[in-house]
């Protein structure tokens, strides 16, 4: 009996031990769970605090950009006025007790301000921009017991160069109701594009190029990445279409013209696509990236007053006896107005500056203004502070033009004029470059059309070791054709071309290589690969392993050359997107 009682007591003891053990374990688990919940809550609050701090920075940056945009209005503001307003706006948000008042949200509260509003933004030559500032922001985010402080360094302001110069190819929609293909990029045949592409309208691609309005079988275009990039990027405003049947009858100019002016491609003959690889060589297709649409007018005719002058505004007459040929002038500090001085038997008979002039040999002057047209032929011509062509009102049934070259129609470089240009030019009329081996460090504003034929254009070697380029901004159409026709080696044109209207270029019979960029309201590129001979082209099978006869290669030095040549922008029209340099 004693043994039985002992067993019962031992069992009771074991039961009590187990109960105590599970109670301790339960309490421990409860404590661990509670501690984990607390840690999770702290972690959640920390994440929310960081998100709130980021919201503070992003919100303040957006607010500053909105205020600056409102200041510019539709017509823009003078450069000096914008520079002052930029500093004024930034200083308004410099950290103080008032700017650190926190804004409340459901997850917590945040406040942001500017620690340093006026950091310098420099180019690679250490030139400080007065239009942009490197701004250091500080933001505090609080959520529960968590607090997070973030600092971010961001470039804010406006650029002194057009956004469109950032792309190898870029189409622009500038009007509220675009028509006649405004904003469209039409790629016919296999052109090669090295760099990024911007299309504000529709992107159209076809595996045929055209010459003399006849469609020639080829391949799809190729998009190569620019230097230091892994892929070409495509900024697309509307839709992409692949041409699946001939869009116009062979030999029909009117049919072709109607096609490239189309706005609606939801018709037979066109297939809507969503992947760039369907419109490009599958292995060399661009990658679509998102970007907020921006309208950035160049203001070409606004430049006129920067170049125009006459004898009442600092100009002095350059009298040329019995001639309209400007030759051998070395007046680097003079603002010249060429004038024909008629003489007979040593006596002056007339003075006339309202004539067409030509320029040859070596000339060096500060500024020059020609009232009528100007032809530049062989020689080396420098105009430090600008050349103005067409300062007088056009005569009846005529207009002012700038012609560069001897106008021969040949691909033999020995038959063309060797010409060097250095400086900036405003042309109140059309520009024709034909029969020229041009070496250029020139910027042109053209209130008219531009035609480039039977020419090569290379960068002029400059004293600082850099290479110049040709940059053209035109209100009219730009047309490039008949360069290196039926030749295996391309004509190189080192330049950037911007048209407020349309740009069209041919690389079918021609063989052309643009090192720079193209921007226009509507762009049409016609190309094939391989050889060309008397309007006969190689088969598609052979073209597959051949180079394109039309190449556009983005030149990253474009912007630097533009800033060197461009007179200071008198009007700032657009705030650029903020560029974050650092956040921690």
Split at pLDDT 50, 70, 90, the class of 2 is: very low
**pLDDT tens-place string over residues 90-114:** 999 999 865 555 688 888 899 999 9
Residue 3: in which H helix or E strand, if any? helix 2-72
Report pLDDT for 100. 59
pLDDT, mean over the chain: 89
Q: Percent of the chain beyond pLDDT 90?
A: 63
Report pLDDT for 1. 43
Q: Which two tokens stand for residue 35?
A: 């501690």
The model carries a pTM of 0.77
330 pLDDT more than 90: yes
Helices (H), 226-267: 253-260
Sequence-ordered list of residues with C-beta below 8 angstroms from that of 407, at least 6 positions apart, any chain: 432, 434, 435
Buried b (16+ CB within 10 A) or exposed e, 102-138: eeeeebbbbbbbbebbeeebeeeeeeebbbbbbbbbb
**Residue 443 CA, distance from chain mean position:** 16
Report pLDDT for 4. 45
**pLDDT tens-place string over residues 469-505:** 999 999 999 999 999 999 999 999 999 999 999 999 9
- Interval 390-400 mean pLDDT: 73
Residue keyed to tokens 């029909």: 252
User: Strand locations in 508-549, DSSP E?
Assistant: 512-527, 532-533, 536-537
**pLDDT tens-place string over residues 165-186:** 889 999 999 888 999 999 999 9
3 pLDDT more than 50: no
The least confident of 115-124, 341-350, 575-584 is 575-584
Split at pLDDT 50, 70, 90, the class of 394 is: low
- Interval 426-439 mean pLDDT: 96
What residue segments make up the domains of the chain, in order of their start? 43-160+578-583, 162-299+503-556, 301-474
Dump the DSSP string for 140-164.
EEEETTEEEEEEEEEEEE--SS-GG
Report pLDDT for 39. 53
């Amino acid at each position: 009996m004693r043994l039985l009682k002992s067993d019962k007591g031992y069992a009771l003891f074991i039961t009590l031990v187990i109960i105590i053990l599970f109670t301790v374990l339960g309490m421990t688990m409860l404590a661990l769970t509670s501690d984990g919940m607390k840690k999770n809550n702290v972690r959640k609050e920390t994440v929310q605090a960081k998100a709130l701090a980021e919201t503070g920075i992003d919100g303040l940056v957006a607010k500053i950009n909105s205020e600056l945009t409102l200041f510019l209005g539709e017509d823009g503001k003078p450069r000096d006025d914008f520079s002052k307003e930029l500093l004024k706006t930034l200083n308004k948000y410099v950290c103080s007790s008032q700017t650190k008042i926190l804004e409340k949200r459901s997850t917590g509260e945040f406040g942001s301000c500017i620690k340093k509003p006026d950091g310098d933004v420099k180019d690679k030559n250490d030139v400080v921009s007065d239009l942009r500032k490197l701004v250091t922001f500080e933001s505090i985010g609080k959520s529960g017991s968590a607090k997070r402080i973030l600092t971010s360094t961001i470039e804010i302001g406006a650029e002194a160069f057009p956004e469109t110069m950032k792309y190898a190819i870029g189409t622009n929609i500038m009007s509220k109701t675009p028509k006649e293909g405004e904003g469209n990029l039409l790629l016919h045949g296999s052109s090669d594009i090295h760099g990024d592409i911007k299309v504000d309208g529709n992107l159209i691609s076809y595996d045929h190029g055209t010459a003399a309005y006849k469609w020639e079988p080829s391949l799809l275009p190729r998009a190569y990445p620019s230097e230091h990039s892994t892929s070409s990027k495509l900024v697309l405003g509307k839709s992409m279409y692949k041409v699946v049947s001939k869009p116009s009858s062979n030999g029909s100019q009117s049919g072709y013209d109607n096609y490239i002016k189309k706005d609606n491609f939801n018709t037979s003959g066109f297939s809507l696509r969503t992947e760039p690889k369907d419109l490009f060589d599958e292995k060399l297709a661009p990658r679509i990236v998102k970007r907020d649409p921006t309208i950035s007018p160049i203001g070409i005719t606004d430049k006129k007053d920067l170049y125009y002058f006459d004898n009442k505004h600092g100009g002095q007459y350059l009298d040329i006896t019995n001639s309209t040929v400007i030759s051998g002038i070395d007046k680097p500090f003079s603002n010249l107005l060429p004038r024909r001085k008629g003489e007979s038997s040593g006596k002056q008979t007339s003075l006339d500056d309202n004539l067409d002039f030509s320029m040859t040999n070596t000339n060096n002057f500060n500024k020059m203004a020609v009232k009528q047209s100007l032809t530049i032929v062989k020689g080396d011509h420098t105009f430090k502070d600008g050349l103005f062509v067409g300062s007088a009102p056009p005569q009846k049934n005529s207009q002012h033009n700038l012609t560069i070259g001897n106008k021969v129609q040949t691909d033999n470089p020995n038959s063309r004029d060797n010409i060097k240009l250095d400086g900036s030019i405003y042309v109140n009329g059309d520009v024709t470059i034909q029969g020229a081996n041009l070496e250029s460090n020139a910027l042109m504003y053209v209130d008219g059309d531009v035609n480039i034929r039977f020419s090569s254009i290379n960068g002029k070697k400059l004293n600082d070791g850099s290479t110049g380029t040709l940059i053209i901004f035109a209100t009219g159409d730009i047309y490039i054709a008949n360069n290196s026709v039926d030749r295996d080696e391309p004509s190189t044109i080192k330049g950037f071309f911007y048209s407020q209207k349309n740009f069209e270029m041919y690389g079918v019979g021609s063989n052309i290589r643009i090192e720079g960029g193209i921007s226009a309201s509507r762009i049409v590129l016609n190309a094939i690969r391989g050889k060309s001979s008397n309007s006969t082209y190689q088969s598609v099978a052979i073209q597959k392993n051949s180079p394109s006869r039309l190449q556009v290669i983005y030149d990253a030095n474009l912007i630097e050359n533009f800033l060197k040549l461009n007179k200071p922008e008198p009007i700032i029209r657009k705030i650029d997107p903020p560029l974050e340099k650092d956040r921690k």
